[in-house]
Amino acid sequence: MDKKLLSIKNLKKNFLIQNKILKAVDDVSFDIIKGKTFAIVGESGCGKSSIANMIANLIKPTSGQILFENRSIFKNDNELKKNIQMIFQDPYLSLNPKMKISEIILEPIKIHKKFKKEKELNLLTSLLNQVNLSSTIAKRYPHELSGGQRQRIAIARSIALNPKFIICDEPLSSLDISTSSQIISLLKNLQQNLNLSYLFISHNLAVVKYISQNAAVMYLGKFLELAPSSKLFLNPLHPYTQALISASFSFKKKNNDKVILKNEIPSPLNPPKGCLFSTRCPYAKNECFEIRPALKEVEKDHQVACHLVKTPSN
């Protein structure tokens, strides 16, 4: 039986903007299995990074629980902090330009005082080898490196404390296709070798399909579809998921039509009354504009928030 490493329960995050409540994350629940990758996909501003920042304990939730091995991550627990690490979106901003590469990679170890000083050089060499970089790079500064090299340094830093879980927040968005492919292969190899679990956040469905075992599609702070990745890409049920996959792959509806979105994404400060996707959905009916659908299981491990998708009993 698969073992849960991280459990997110009824997570919410509100921000006060222009005297209005913005529901960045609105009642989201999911589990991440040990040694597996859970992906969250969606357009910019949908709430993906807010989830990442709450799990990393960079911001506090408005309500809800985040449990790591059944312990709240919000307790002052150094062991928890060591086991949850993060790879940030932009390798040009996430590395301190005034620090040498050796200092950047070893910084977490010095903070947590995990190794004696005489062992640090061996560890540094080992970490650089694991991300396929030469130890000669250790004396250089971030501005002397390419984007791909910088992201490898960020990855080396993230595994320095031997964590169990790493948040990958759009780690490829600043990289070209060739470099992205290399970084994805590196992440998969590290996962296998170190038994890592990942939360992988991306707008790139091709990457999500390749790297994840389970995935959620997010829109205006809510999950619209949640399923094993194989099911999600083979049989997407929510019109929004179908549209995203249509834009990236050769998916078509049974009537052979591609799903094309209409209108622009609404402001999260003024979301639609009913289904959040109703103003862009080509199939929306009257109830879609009036009643917000709950996320429901329509088949084993496959949940959808859509009035048009019926459960087996319906």
CA distance 207 to 201: 10
Looking at the structure, tell me whether residues 44 and 154 fall in a common domain.
Answer: yes
On whether the CB atoms of residues 303 and 226 are closer than 8 A, the answer is yes
What's the confidence (pLDDT) of residue 250? 57
- 219 part of a folded domain: no
**Residue 255: how many other CB atoms lie within 10 Å:** 5
Is the dihedral angle over the CA atoms 113, 117, 118, 124 positive or is it negative? positive
The C-alpha angle with vertex 19 and arms to 13 and 24, in degrees rounded to 5, equals 20
Residue 27's CATH number? 3.40.50.300
- 310 part of a folded domain: no
Looking at the structure, tell me whether residues 57 and 206 fall in a common domain.
Answer: yes
What's the confidence (pLDDT) of residue 281? 94
CA atoms within 13 A on the CB side of 244: 28
What's the confidence (pLDDT) of residue 5? 97
**pLDDT beneath 50: ranges in the chain:** 255
Looking at the structure, tell me whether residues 235 and 208 fall in a common domain.
Answer: no
Looking at the structure, tell me whether residues 236 and 190 fall in a common domain.
Answer: no
Residues 6+ apart with CB under 8 A from 37: 191, 197, 198, 199, 200, 211, 212, 213, 214
What's the confidence (pLDDT) of residue 58? 93
Q: Is 254 helix (H, G, I), strand (E, B) or coil?
A: coil
Looking at the structure, tell me whether residues 151 and 112 fall in a common domain.
Answer: yes
On whether the CB atoms of residues 217 and 41 are closer than 8 A, the answer is yes
Looking at the structure, tell me whether residues 92 and 21 fall in a common domain.
Answer: yes
Quote the domain boundaries for residue 299. 231-304
- 39 part of a folded domain: yes
For the chain, the domain total comes to 2
The partner residues of 226 in beta bridges, in order of sequence, read: 216, 303
pTM score, whole prediction: 0.93
Name the CA radius of gyration of the chain, rounded: 21
- 44 part of a folded domain: yes
What's the confidence (pLDDT) of residue 264? 85
Looking at the structure, tell me whether residues 122 and 271 fall in a common domain.
Answer: no
- 247 part of a folded domain: yes
What's the confidence (pLDDT) of residue 252? 53
CA distance 294 to 63: 19
- The last residue of one of the domains, among 151, 178, 212, is 212
- 313 part of a folded domain: no
From the list 249, 255, 236, the residue with the least C-alpha distance to 299 is: 236
- 159 part of a folded domain: yes
From the list 158, 139, 148, the residue with the least C-alpha distance to 91 is: 148
Query: Helix 177-194 vs helix 147-159: angle between axes, to the nearest 10 degrees?
Result: 10
Looking at the structure, tell me whether residues 250 and 204 fall in a common domain.
Answer: no
